[in-house]
Structure 1
Amino acid sequence: MDLGILCPAVGVVASSGKTQFFGNGRQNKCLRRKYKQLRRDLGKKKKLTAIRNINDKESRIMRDINHKLSRQIITFAAENGCGTIHLEKLSGIRRTSRLRGKNKANLHSWTFHELSSFIEYKARELGIKVVYINPEYTSQTCPTCGERNKVKDRNYNCGCGYHSHRDRVGALNIARTI
């Protein structure tokens, strides 16, 4: 049995079709905004040591969140008897992204590499194989008929009648790849 993981939302789908979402992206964004504002205020006061301490604290918090997320994902995989975990290969996403402004800042502060490396080493401990998949069009391709549709909001709707959450569609397509 395989497991497909869509990293941005940490949507996980077992090849049996069981879906589960882990983590809270909005909470992470809120945390990032809080520390960004704190650094901005400290910068105006020229408190450089305090800014370094805040950076360290934020990175420790995000590392802890990633450890907990990876543990939940690996536990889900083990409980569902998954032998392979399929992850998106997001190595060049920062160069190829067409985002602007606030969304670009969110992408650049996202710790996807750290999360995937935690998933990888924890999976290795349990003998679960990790495979990286090209994420191209995974959230735009219908898992039933294969038609590609642009998604305008969080819900995916296809002409064949299939509809689901966009992140679930991506995770399903990743789980079925190879």
Structure 2
Amino acid sequence: MKIVVQVKLLPEAGQAAALHATLRTVNEAACWVSGVAFELGVPREYELRKHTYAELKARGLGAQVAQHVIKKARDAYAALRANIRAGNVGKPASKRRVKAESKPITFRPGAAQPYDDRCLSWQYDARTVSVWTTVGRLKGVPFVCSAGALKMLRMHRKGESDLIERDGAFYLAAVCDVPEGQQYEPGGFIGVDLGIANIATTSTGYRAAGRGLNRHRKRQLDLRKKLQAKGTNSAKRLLKKRSRKEARHAANVNHIVSKAIVTTAERTGSGIALEDLTGVRSRVRLRKDQRAPLHSWGFLQLGRYIEYKAKRAGVPLVYVDPAYTSQQCSECGHIDRRNRLSQALFACRPCGARMHADDNASHNIGRKGESVWIAGRESRAPVTP
């Protein structure tokens, strides 16, 4: 299982200038390679290398770095093609899709650049790195991280690390190959209903209210509007300073919620059932004032956090079809959209069961999770002679 650990570099002024210049050079070269690939109809990486490698070497890039630049440009087109197939850039002939297909991919001056062990080495005891730059190899560049992150790097770092520049600071995102936990046979499944009013509600009674996060997002949105309307230099500096603050806060909340859900499942010997909400934003039609909460809903991030934590702990996890989980009664199984009286209240018309709507949905999801697990499990019946 791949986990990314991010550390912050603390370079001196000269080292920072070298890293800054290196990222500008390699991303300018990547833009040139992307243009060549676009003109040639995006050939295979080996074919693209024949047309670009000599020029990259002439620009002062090392052999290994030149290979990474070519691969980065080629991978960008592979990602674009995958997004087109998945429908993430619009329908055929749509304005967004035509724009994406009609010009070469470009890279930001500070975009991430991959480094392998030939271009980057780690000294964990000294907490320093040695990294290749266009002005030579920088040795003894210090980095800082948590004790847990350092332990993860020591034990499991394997593969490439990305050099990133963000707001004048430099970071390394290192890939760690962590072994998955031994998966056990679950005694049942905990259904997890994801939402906006309540971030997550489980069939065990745990409910992570979304009120605090939604208020935080509303405050950040109002503040951004005021600063953007003001338009002064100080307002622009404050906007830049506060950028990504909301995203960091939301990610922290999702980490807390996912950890609570996985810990409960591990302690009770249960599995976890999640809704497959792929494409929910394109299916739902809402009023204009409801669109911002829907599009800032971090259900995908929360699901990924639950998934990788479950793998590390060996907790079985399945995805289920979310259809009718909010309309079906978890007591008698009757399905009727009128059962959902409000966002919070569920009342079954035939049997009279009354409960919180999210609790009802979580029980339905848990039951579906058991069915999916049983259907996907190998048969243990003896072979017929």
**TM-score after normalising by structure 2:** 0.43
- Is the contact between residue 255 and residue 305 of structure 2 (CA under 8 Å) also seen in structure 1? yes
Aligned equivalent of 2:367: 176
Is 1:152–2:341 an aligned residue pair? yes
What is the rounded CA distance, in whole Å, between the counterparts of 2:226 and 2:284 in structure 1?
29
Q: Does 1:131 align with 2:321?
A: no
CA distances 1:91-126 after superposition (whole Å, capped 9, x unpaired): 211001122122221011111111100000000011
Q: Which has the higher strand share?
A: 2
Alignment of 1:12-27 (within 5 A): 12-13=202-203, 18-21=204-207, 23-27=208-212
Amino acid at match of 1:155: L
Where in structure 2 are the equivalents of 1:28-43 lying within 5 Å?
28-43=213-228
Greater Cα offset, 60-69 or 148-157: 148-157
Q: Percent identity?
A: 34
1:81 equivalent in structure 2:
269
Structure 2: unaligned runs, 5 residues or longer = 1-187, 372-385
Q: Quick one: which amino acid aligns to residue 30 of structure 1? A: R
The answer as to whether partners of 2:341 and 2:347 remain within 8 angstroms in 1 is: no
1:53 maps to 2:244: no
For 2:341 and 2:289, the matched residues in 1 are separated by: 19
Asked if the contact 2:205/2:359 (under 8 Å) is kept, the reply is yes
* TM-aligned CA deviation for residue 41 of structure 1: 0.8
Q: CA deviation at 1:163?
A: 1.5
Tell me the residue number matched to 1:122: 309
* Residue equivalent to 1:69: 257
Equivalences, count: 172
Matches within 5 A, 1:92-103: 92-103=279-290
Contact residue 86 and residue 175 of structure 1 kept, 8 A: yes
Asked if structure 2 preserves the Cα contact closer than 8 Å seen for 1:88 and 1:134, the reply is yes
Query: CA, structure 1 residues 55+91, in 2 after alignment: closer, same or farther (shift >3 Å)?
Result: farther
C-alpha contact 1:39 1:54 (8 A) present in aligned 2? no
Which of these residues, 97, 105, 108, is aligned with residue 292 of structure 2? 105
The offset of 1:74, in angstroms, is 1.0
SS of match in other structure, 1:5: strand
Q: SS where residue 19 of structure 1 aligns?
A: coil
Within 2, Cα distance between the matches of 1:55 and 1:108?
A: 18
Question: What RMSD, in angstroms, separates the aligned Cα atoms of the two structures?
Answer: 1.3
Judge conservation of contact 2:326–2:360 (CA < 8 Å) in 1.
yes
Higher relative contact order (CA 8 A, sep 6+): 1
CA contact (8 A) 1:4 1:86 kept: yes
Q: 1:11 aligns with which of 201, 214, 227?
A: 201
Deviations 1:67-109 (A, max 9, x none): 1111111111122221x21101112110011221222210111
Native 8 Å contact 1:5 1:11 kept in 2: yes
Larger Rg: 2
Structure 1 residue 24: deviation in Å?
2.0
Deviates more, 1:166-175 or 1:125-134: 125-134
